[in-house]
Amino acid sequence: MNVSETLENLSASGNLRQIPEDRRLENIIDFSTNDYLGLASFSMDRMSSLYPELKDAPMTSSASRLLAGIQHEYNDLENELGSLYDRRALLYNSGYHANIGIISAIADRSTVVIADRLVHASIIDGVLLSRAKLMRFEHNDLDMLETMVKQNYDTGHRIVVIVESVYSMDGDSPDMNRLVELKAKYPSIILYVDEAHAFGVKGPKGLGMAMDTVNPKAFDIIVMTFGKALASYGACVITSSDIREFLVNKSRSLIFSTSLPPIMALWTKIMLDKMLTADDRRLMLNAHVDLLHKTLSQLKGSVPDKPSHIRALIIGDAQKTVEASKKLREDGLLVLPIRTPTVPAGTERLRISLSASMQPDDILKLSKALKCITD
């Protein structure tokens, strides 16, 4: 690998990535945040006066979860999550750790993983680590998915079907009840859903789209992250007692990583309680979604067709996408460019995400600016 040549090629194609500067002091509206409920405004100083236990929570466990002498904060959070879903919960350090650790544990060379073409990179990396056979169905094409399941169902292979409930770059969703029907028809498949961008936003009390189906337990594995709508850090899997115990023994990203800071588990529990009663914030977010949809649905390249708290305006060229982002920045609007390999070449885009903390005028300002860019 020629490092210099690679960097030069990335720069020439408009695909060179750089870590941005700190933006906290800038007078700018951030449309690239995943803070969907606006809970990130809660500071440690403010919350510690309301929750004195934060002042004494350990900053580190100093060990992996299986070796740590500190377990109280983890257990409390897992128990609450488990009770909410009437199942068992297991914490991971991040959504990436969860996906690579779970998939590489439950799948092997005798497994067929059938995944949506647009699932997150962490899911693909988990499949690669597992050495399972990977099959991809066209995005949200559940007829194609069922055909693949049917073709592989009686071959003696374990089948894992993996989808996201809200796709991070397109903002759209599969028919979740259709997936429940698929599980009923082919009961031995493992149905796996990543709810990273739905958790906190969708479903009853923000518990995700699987909980809004006719049979939530049809989903054998539900993964959600805490660093988005929950304004914390870490992730967890909701699953059965048997699969949880299996992961404790076989999931390498859990076994061989220092566990989350206990103070983060406590913070997550506090934020979880706020999320559960945040229907007013979800209503505000949905109002912003509808307001932006009225504008973007008229613009060429807008994805998805249905309203969502994540929207994409596909430009189709890396350099032009970067230029469009710069123009918006000059207007006080942060909408970062998304380029290959995050999205396929030719679908480079501006990714817009909304937060309940925004004001209607913020949405109208963005709408006006996007119209000017696309005219």
Supply the pTM of this predicted model.
0.94
Domains defined along the chain, listed by start: 22-37+279-374 (3.90.1150.10), 48-276 (3.40.640.10)
Question: Is residue 220 among the annotated active site residues?
Answer: no
Span of 2-11, 115-124, 209-218 with lowest mean pLDDT: 2-11
Judge contact between 313 and 299, C-beta under 8 A: yes
User: Would you place residue 24 in the very low, low, confident or very high pLDDT band (cuts 50, 70, 90)?
Assistant: low
Percentage of residues of the chain with pLDDT beyond 70: 99
Quote the longest CA-to-CA distance of the chain. 61
> What is 106-168 written as a DSSP string?
H--TTEEEEEETT--HHHHHHHHHHT-EEEEEPTT-HHHHHHHHHHHTTSS-EEEEEEESS-T
- 27 phi and psi, to 5 degrees? -85, 80
Catalytic residue (one of 30, 73, 164, 170): 164
For the cut 70, the answer to whether the pLDDT of residue 236 exceeds it is yes
Question: Is residue 164 among the annotated active site residues?
Answer: yes
What CA–CA distance (Å, rounded) separates 19 from 2?
A: 22
Give bridge partners of residue 334 from the DSSP assignment. Answer: 30
User: Would you place residue 298 in the very low, low, confident or very high pLDDT band (cuts 50, 70, 90)?
Assistant: confident
Which SS3 state, helix, strand or coil, does residue 285 take?
A: helix
Question: Is residue 348 among the annotated active site residues?
Answer: no
> What is 85-111 written as a DSSP string?
HTSEEEEESSHHHHHHHHHHHH--TTE
Question: Is residue 120 among the annotated active site residues?
Answer: yes
Q: What stretches of 131-275 adopt beta strand conformation (E)? A: 133-137, 158-164, 190-194, 221-225, 235-239
Catalytic residue (one of 122, 152, 168, 259): 168
Catalytic residue (one of 97, 183, 197, 309): 197
For the cut 90, the answer to whether the pLDDT of residue 282 exceeds it is yes
